[in-house]
Structure 1
Amino acid sequence: MARDDEDFERRPDPDALLALSDKESKGKLCVFLGAAPGVGKTYAMLARAQAAKAEGVDVVVGVAETHGRAETQALLNGLETLPRRKCDYRGRIIEEFDIDAALARKPQLILVDELAHTNAPDSRHPKRWQDVEELLDVGIDIWTTLNVQHLESLADVVSRVTGVAVRETVPDRVLQNAADVILVDITPEELLQRLKDGKVYVPETARRATQNFFTPRNLTALRELALRRTADRVDDQMVDFLRQGAIEGPWATAERLLVCVGRDANSEAVVRAGARLATALNATWIALYVERAGQEEESAEVVRSVDQALRLAERLGAEIARTPGDDLAGEALRFARRENITQIVLGRSRARPFSRLLRRSLTDEILRRSTDIAVHVVVQEDSPPQSRQARKLPTLSQTWLGFGGAAVSVLMTVLVGYGLERWLGLVNPSVIFLLPVVLCTVWLGMWSAIIAAVLSFFACDFFFFSPRYELTISQPQEFLTLVVALVVAVITGMLASKMRTYAQNMRQRSQAVQSLFEFSRKLSTIATPDDILWASTLQIQKAGEASSVIMLIPEEGGLKVSAAWPPVDRMDAGELAAARWALEKAEPAGWRTDTLPNVRFQFRPLATARGVVAVCGIEPKTPEEPLSAATESTISSLIEQTAIAIDRSMLVGESVKAAALEENEKLRTILLSALSHDLRTPLTSITGAVTSLRELGEKLPLEDRKDLLLSIEEEAGRLSRFIANMLDMSRIESGALAPRSDLVDVAEVIRSVLERAKRTFSGKDTSISIAPDLPPIRGDANLLGQVLFNLIDNAHKYGGPAGAIVHARREGGDVVITVTDEGPGVKAADLERIFEKFYRSGRVDGRKAGTGLGLSICRGLVSAMGGTIVAQSPAARRRGTRLIMRFPAARESKRGVAA
């Protein structure tokens, strides 16, 4: 079994194998890394490319910046070079790398110089390293060059060292994912000599460079950064090889320290000693805390000690890790080998002499089992002896309950023993006294089990061993039996108690996982940000038994309480300052942190890929004690899920806005298209008629002049109606339309519109039918006339030669006005859409007519007067369209006057 566990531990890391598989499916990236410009990166890359071409590799130069250096330019001879893409940038033509040409050519290897280059604005990707990633994804190998100051994590360091701001950066992951990193290095003196010789810049530029960037101090610092980053990259590559091949470390190529954080007060001293050692060795280090699986809930003192030690390690630059395990030493060593740790730092265990007889201390066990990793033991001679962690003693009520339960269970066992002895002739009933011990362990805990074991010892002797009813043992074997039974009972009780504790912990963890799952499912169904905030606040308060508050950033800036439970009246200045710190610095602030620790809340950032979107504040129920590890883990998970839900809600809102903007853009395009046509057509007709009248004048017959003047009049009227429609739509959408509420004689309005239509639509027939008992309506006569005119115009456009039919009648308490044509009609699916802006369903003379505003304006005007308008098709004989307007009739007073 142990062998199987060992084989399992030595299996290849699945994550490492997946990463290797992913890399093998892509092209390989080789980076020629230099400390500064002029060290010869491009030269080294081209020289290797010539060698690769001589070996038969399909090599293509995508872009190579020679900067006019003759020796570098000479290396391009014989290499295929892709033509560059020319683009206009601020009035001048520049040449950029053509990624499409590279994808079309798809060579085995392509050279792309200056990885940190920023592309022209019209390029597919803003940065050249993004072009490189796209080429790698299709399986093309790439060689490129990079200066160390362009790495994103080192840009601020280089700026502080050299005083020169670095504006073009490359993410560190690009270098980490590279298959090979080749360091191109020369001494600062040699580089300065190259500058003097004019091999880097022209003389004037070289002189200014040596006075600013290219100084011995700056070049030495950059060279050190390049050497260290290359060594780190090689070390990471070696760790990947170890994990892929299931090879246990450590390989002492670079120092990596592991600091073991314990449960005592000396852990901070161990952490500081580990930080000093890591600084002296210039090594990376990890602070590890191993949680014993199945142990009882840790006390507040232990949680506080561990929390403080880990936070101190994080401030000192360590990585933080927590891992569960029964075998503390074995788990720590497995972690060390997995992370390629070369040295372990831990404190000296101060175990009591009796404990040392039973088992080795953690320090002794690691020293014994660590055969390939150096171990540093930190000893504080002047520190007081470590106080043993006080066990949680039972209360008085728990003591009496445990004692009573043990006594009752032992008494019941005695009665059972008498029954078994009488009916079955049981000779030695000591075995059955294990039963009360186990029962007390399961139901009442460890203390009750110990009491039950002792009472069972005496009860078995008193009631069943001769001489009976005396606490006397006559035979040695009887004494041995009782002692063995007592030991077995105690051991059984301890194991059962441990299993009970383990089961309770597992049940609590299961409940926490179930709670997180339910919360995650609830968040997936919530769409509005307010609901997300309130659900999260309530869940965090329930999980941590603490007051919780979530603060969002409103559009006007600052922080505002968006949800809180229990309700929070106000936040004082210190709390607001801590919340702003958490927002701006993306790190916790407030209670039990290093920033404003006296504030009652602990504020934590809700961070997403786009940054910190909100701040969550937690006020513990007992400020004197830290949150337990389980509560801390649950709250952290809830905060992460809340951040994701808020981010998702913001993305949904942004997608809605984007959709609205896209729709507005479409409407704008349609409007511009309609404007360009519907303005140009009448203007063209008017211009042509005016030109003919001006040039020919009296030469034209009188009838032709009349026709031209009539055409001018008609087209001008058409243009006027079009502009009026646009103004009406603008008034309707802005809410500026305020119709009058006068008594309107519908019959009179219809007749006046008919006269106007006859003059405007000459040659088009319009008939009317008005009921004799038609009552007046409340509204605006001018707007009603405009609506009727637009409907008649629409009927003439789409109704064919038959013209339009206007009918007005009374139906109950409403006045109904219909305008009918005998055209091809409207599809049932489009009966409502024809009232939308810019929608045009019919065609006139083979093209779509109008702007699609007429019916939309009609609905807006009718609604403003308190009426409704709908479309019906077919209207009669399976043809035509009928537009139906319905207005409430004006009420009549007792004197017969409409009210």
Structure 2
Amino acid sequence: MADKRPNPDELLARVQTDEARARRGKLKIFFGYAAGVGKTYAMLEAARRERVEGNEILVGYVEPHGRPDTEALLEGLEVIPPRQVPYRGVTLREFDLDAALARRPKLILVDELAHSNAEGSRHTKRWQDIEELLEAGIDVWSTLNVQHLESLNDVIAQITGVVVRETLPDSVLERVDEIELIDITPEELIERLQAGKVYITPQAERALQSFFQRANLIALRELSLRQAANRLRRDVDAARLDRAAPGPWATSERLLVCVGPSPTTAKLIRTAKRMAAAFGAEWLAVAVETHGGSQTLTGTRQKVAQHLRLADQLGAEAHTLVGANVAQSILEYARSRNVTKIVVGKTAQPWWKRWFVGTVVDQLLDNSGDIDIYVIRGESEAAGSIESLPPQAPVRWTDYVGTALVVAVCGLIGWLNHFFGLAEANTVMVFLLGVAFVASRYGRGPSIAASIVSVIIFDFFFVPPYLTLTVDDPQYYLAFGVMLAIAFLISTLTARLKEQLRASQEQEHRTAALYRFTKQLSEITGMEFLVRAAGQQLSQVFAGEVVLFLRDTRGSVALRFGDDSSVAKQSVNALVAQWVADHDQMAGAGTDTLPNATALFVPLIGSQRTIGALGIKPTDSQYFLDPEQRRLLETCASLIALSIERDQSVLEAHEYQLQVQAEQLRSSLLSSVSHDLRTPLAAIAGASSSLLDGAPVQDDTTRRELLQSIVDESHRLARLVDNLLDMTRLESGIVPLNKQWHVLEEIVGSARSRLRKELEHHPVQVEIPVDFPLLQLDGLLMEQVLVNLLENAARYTPAGTQIDICARREGIHAEIRVSDDGPGLPPGSEARVFDKFFRGSTTPTADGRRGAGLGLAICKGIIQTHGGTIIARNRPGGGADFVISLPCVETAPRVVLDEVPVSGGS
């Protein structure tokens, strides 16, 4: 009796899935075939019913399209104000994801699932926003038209002549918890368009002449109904599995045809195709491997692979199962797929084979339960052509020589048993042990030969009368039969165990190869390195030549790996690779498409598009027809495609980030520099105009003030230009360092002299120890650092506050500190003050002007060029503290000063 208890692993997986679903929000889609069928209207009506029942409803985003009926349904519902996003001179309204997450309603409505968000949004697509809401445990209702499905994009373009730009992956629709189909007739939709209920009149007239033609709407409606029906079929399968139903639910017909190596299988597959068409049913083609595929079964596997390809070409969903019992494996798979009818072929067999071995058909009929079995009679096995039968493996005479030696040794041990007067049972056990050894070492054929020869030797040497094949006691005939039967049974079981072990080892080899391949691809970045590693690994796994063709920006494939292979040197293979990449189908050697190619080509299908083709030319030509190896090759091709896509995505994300940073830098530069350039230029222009006018009211003092203003603003403008040039040189890495030995006191003095006017209202206290070492640095650049720090301190601190410059040695580093008694740095901006164009402080400056935000960035660049560091922090008692750390050379020359610690003020 079959064990119908639920599988524990399946139960555990189901419990884990249910727990994950319980934590995640539920997504419901109002699905239609075109705009105007009433998806948003139906969603809002359902929301109002939920609200009447006391459920919390929040409208995240709904696009009313100027329709009064839709706008009326929004009244009384809480709506999140949309985000206002400026874009190319217009203001776009977008869904405010952060506000929705902060509000955390039980249910939120977000219209237009396939919408593309404006630039600068957290996600590029609205379905990604909804995914984040679902992960937060919020239920979501949304709307979707069939033309937005990615898999139907080409079909929609062919039918309507319109290429839909806003698409979403089909996987999003597959993860939806509930779909409600909103359907009206095309005639009713056209009437709504003509009445202006969908678009305004001019737009509606254009739509009726293009996308909304009646033929287009009929085709779109069929596509939406098919999508809904497919979803219902999956829901039925899931519900049946949840109930652990023992038999199929015949809500729709689903056929399964059993595929084998028989010559009549092709006829069987064609019959199943006609039956599926007559029933309007989905159909599957299944072959079963029973771990019996030794060398003698190579031809069988080739025939099965050919028949599975035929079924696939006729539209079946083809699979290969692995199991110990063919009928049991087929029935288990049929029940898991809700199959209602099984089509199996029956060939004429001898009565003795049916009696002793049984047939798959009989087992299916006995255990099918609620599944209908259709038996299609085929020709007898003898009627098949000789060429169609599986080729037999070549005989290895060395195996039979080894068998003979083992039997001889068993006979010698048996003679010793007989010589010492031991029981005959011991001799029988020795021969059975020899048969088991032969079966485990050499296989089934030699083990059967060993069984027969062992019985003959036992009769000839150990049964009286000796040295003859006749026996005096008839009971020995029964003993011979039992001995022979046990030997056959042991040899068969041992050989089967050996074959199963070999199959397990092959499966382990494939799994290990796939693991190594996946691990290596996951650890490599960079297109060239990734392609090279993938090609080299595949060459080892499949023992042959490997080539990789990838698409360029024009869609043409170009060779990226395998330049020196024989495959790459034949131009026909490049044409085959291009065809494979264009049609997403396997082609080349071993297939029915472009079979003249010397290699088998598999498309590299990524998550969004086909990025190229993988070609392989194994050393064994029969390798092309092995279904297991083909599946492994297809899996490896998918991994390569996904890895290349991942690398390209990382590169595109990095380039996009650079573009965003460049755009932000450009905006900051324009907003900062334009103001800082305009201000001094305006002051210079105003003062110059006043001097040129020569008004009689101007006295010498006024003219001097105007001239001084021109000089001051010119200096300010020059400093700004110098800062821009210094920043450009630092970023390009072309700043040459003229390192010399310098006394820090001299650099500080020069910096204070340059800022005499800016520092006239700030006392500067300098404390440098007398034994402070000389510093090997670029004196002019270090002076610029101190100038920028002092100017920054003078600008952002009130008049009369003190500025401190301190220096000390800390191990192998020299530390220089510039501190002030001002308001300090804004909290959290200590690291950002060194960013370009960052102006975090809102404190009014001494001159009423704010800098361009380049001075501190230049300081950081110069210090890092010297191999040092600079940090900013707030002092405990108030004020800002900038600390410079520079490497201090032990062999620096010493300078003897006349005075003790330098301590000066102004």
- Provide the TM-score with structure 1 as the length reference: 0.75
Aligned to 1:259: 257
CA contact (8 A) 1:559 1:580 kept: yes
Query: SS at 1:270's partner residue?
Result: helix
Letter in 2 for 1:824: A
Matched, 1:550 2:548: yes
**Which region of structure 1 is more displaced relative to structure 2, 422-431 or 83-92?**
83-92
Q: 1:218 to 1:629 in 2, by over 3 A?
A: closer
Q: Are the aligned partners of 1:528 and 1:649 in contact in 2 as well (CA < 8 Å)?
A: yes
Shift of 1:418: 2.8
SS in 1 for 2:468: coil
**1:415 Cα offset (Å):** 2.2
**What SS is found at the alignment partner of 1:433?**
helix
Residue of structure 1 aligned with 2:509, choices 508, 511, 515: 511
Asked if the contact 1:85/1:97 (under 8 Å) is kept, the reply is yes
Contact 1:442 1:496 in 2 (8 A): yes
Corresponding residue for residue 58 of structure 1: 56
Q: How does 1:744-783 map to 2 (within 5 A)?
A: none
- Alpha-carbon distance, 1:119 to partner: 5.4
* CA positional deviation for 1:179: 3.7
SS of 1:313's equivalent?
helix
Q: SS at 1:475's partner residue?
A: coil
Distance 1:159 1:664 in 2: 37
Please list the CA deviations of residues 258-304 of structure 1 after superposition, one character each: whole Å capped at 9, or x if unmatched.
22221234333333333333333332222222111353256443333
Contact 2:62–2:109 under 8 Å retained in 1: yes
Structure 1 letter corresponding to 2:461:
F
Residue number among 399, 403, 417 corresponding to 1:420 in the alignment: 417
Seq. identity, %: 35
The aligned counterpart of 2:403 is 406
Q: 1:367 to 1:856 in 2, by over 3 A?
A: closer
Show CA shifts across 1:294-333 (max 9, x none): 5325644333322232233333333232220111111111
Question: d(CA) in 1 for partners of 2:485 and 2:125?
Answer: 74
- Alignment check: 8 A CA contact 1:350 1:386 kept: no
The alignment partner of 1:490 has SS state of helix
**Residue-by-residue CA offset, 1:537-566 (whole Å, 9 max, x unaligned):** 333223222211223456798544333397
SS across alignment from 1:472: coil
Distance 1:453 1:29 in 2: 67
For residue 562 of structure 2, give the secondary structure of its aligned residue in structure 1.
strand
591-600 or 294-303: which moved more? Answer: 294-303
Whole-Å separation in 1 of the counterparts to 2:523 and 2:42:
58
The alignment partner of 2:231 has SS state of helix
Matched residue, 1:333: 331
- Which is worse superposed, 282-291 or 125-134? 125-134
1:769 corresponds in structure 2 to none
* Partner in structure 2 of residue 806 of structure 1: none
The Cα RMSD (Å) is 5.2
Partner of 1:303: 301
Structure 2 SS opposite 1:7: coil
Bigger mean CA offset, 266-275 vs 43-52: 43-52
Q: Deviations over 1:498-555 (max 9, x none)?
A: 1122222223333343344444444455445444434433332232222112234567
**Runs of 5+ consecutive residues of structure 1 not aligned to the other structure:** 748-752, 765-785, 801-820, 861-868, 887-899
The answer to whether the 8 Å contact 2:27/2:176 transfers is yes
Distance 2:492 2:41 in 1: 73
Residues 674, 850 of structure 1: 8 Å contact kept: no
In 2: Cα distance, 1:883 partner to 1:9 partner:
72
- 1:840-899 Cα deviation digits (max 9, x unpaired): 9xx999999946658978999xxxxxxxx78899xxxx999899999xxxxxxxxxxxxx
Name 2:447's counterpart in structure 1. Answer: 449
Question: Which structure 2 segments of 5+ residues have no match?
Answer: 742-746, 760-776, 792-803, 819-833, 871-882, 892-906
Q: Which residue of 804, 807, 818 maps to 1:824?
A: 807
| Cα 1:690/1:762, change in 2 over 3 Å | farther
8 Å CA contact 1:824, 1:879 repeated in 2: no
What TM-score, normalized to structure 2?
Answer: 0.74
CA contact (8 A) 2:577 2:613 kept: yes
Q: Secondary structure at the match of 1:287?
A: strand
Deviation at 1:356, TM superposition (A): 1.8
Letter in 2 for 1:278: A
Q: Tell me if the contact between 2:805 and 2:816 (Cα under 8 Å) persists in the aligned partners.
A: no
Aligned to 1:340, what secondary structure does the other structure show?
coil
Deviation at 1:458, TM superposition (A): 1.7
Residue in 2 aligned with 1:774?
none
User: What is the letter of the counterpart of residue 499 of structure 2?
Assistant: T
Instruction: Kindly indicate whether the alpha-carbon contact (under 8 Å) linking 1:61 and 1:81 is maintained by their aligned counterparts in 2.
Output: yes
> Matched residues in 2 for 1:859 and 1:192: separation?
69
Corresponding residue of 1:344: 342
- The answer to whether the aligner puts 1:321 opposite 2:323 as a matched pair is no
User: Which residue does 1:366 correspond to in 2?
Assistant: 364
**Equivalent of 2:459, from 458, 461, 464?**
461
Q: What SS is found at the alignment partner of 2:358?
A: coil
SS in 2 for 1:320: strand
Report the CA distance shift for 1:730/1:29 in structure 2 as closer, same or farther (over 3 A). Answer: closer
1:231 is displaced (CA, Å) by 2.9
Q: Quick one: distance in 2 between partners of 1:75 and 1:671?
A: 48
Letter in 2 for 1:402: D
Greater mean alpha carbon deviation, residues 266-275 or residues 521-530: 521-530
User: Do 2:604 and 2:638's aligned partners in 1 also have CA atoms closer than 8 Å?
Assistant: yes
**Structure 1 residues 427, 325: closer, same or farther in 2, change over 3 A?**
closer
Can you list the C-alpha shifts for 1:471-502, whole angstroms capped at 9, x where unaligned? 22111012221222122112211211111222
* Counterpart contact for 2:548–2:560, Cα < 8 Å: yes
Moved more, 618-627 or 677-686: 677-686
Structure 1 partner of 2:435:
437
Q: Equivalents in 2 of 1:393, 1:210: separation in Å?
A: 69
Task: Say if 1:548 and 1:78 are closer, same or farther in 2 by CA, change over 3 A.
Answer: closer
Structure 2 residue 389 is the aligned partner of structure 1 residue 392: no
The question of whether the paired residues in 1 share the 8 Å contact of 2:868 and 2:884 is answered with no
Identify if the C-alpha distance between structure 1 residues 335 and 207 changes in structure 2 by more than 3 Å, giving closer, same or farther: same
Cα distance change on mapping 1:568 and 1:677 into 2, 3 Å: farther
Residue from 468, 471, 474 that aligns with 2:472: 474
Partners of 1:463 and 1:30 lie apart in 2 by: 84
Q: CA deviation at 1:340?
A: 0.8
Q: Distance in 2 between matches of 1:430 and 1:591?
A: 54
Match in the other structure for 2:272: 274
In 2, are the aligned partners of 1:10 and 1:246 still within 8 Å (CA)? no
Where does 1:306-705 land on structure 2 (aligned, <5 Å)? 306-379=304-377, 385-386=383-384, 389-390=389-390, 392-395=392-395, 398-399=396-397, 401-423=398-420, 425-428=422-425, 429-527=427-525, 529-553=527-551, 558-564=556-562, 567-568=565-566, 570-609=568-607, 611-623=609-621, 626-650=624-648
Residues of 1 paired with 2:682 and 2:207: CA distance?
Answer: 66
Displacement of 1:66: 6.0
Q: Is the 8 A contact 1:26 1:137 kept in 2?
A: yes
Q: Is the 8 A contact 2:116 2:124 kept in 1?
A: yes
- Which is further off, 404-413 or 28-37? 28-37
Distance 1:202 1:733 in 2: 54
1:171-211 deviation line (CA, Å, top 9, x unaligned) = 44444444433344444555566667776667777777666
Give, in angstroms, the shift of residue 642 of structure 1: 3.9
1:56-84 deviation line (CA, Å, top 9, x unaligned):
33345555666676666665565555555
Deviates more, 1:712-721 or 1:543-552: 712-721
User: Given residue 416 of structure 1, which amino acid in structure 2 is its aligned partner?
Assistant: I
**How far off its partner does 1:444 sit?**
2.6
Greater shift in the superposed pair: 442-451 or 137-146: 137-146
Which one-letter code corresponds to 2:599 in the other structure? F
The aligned amino acid for 1:459 is: I
State the alpha-carbon separation in 1 of the partners of residues 869 and 109 from structure 2: 69
Is the 1:35–1:148 Cα contact (8 Å) retained in structure 2?
Answer: yes
Q: Specify whether residues 389 and 492 from structure 1 end up closer, same or farther in structure 2 by C-alpha distance, changes over 3 A only.
A: farther
Task: Determine the C-alpha separation between the residues in 2 that align with 1:434 and 1:134.
Answer: 68
In 2 relative to 1, CA 48–309 (structure 1 residues): closer, same or farther, beyond 3 Å? same
**Structure 2 counterpart of 1:775:** none
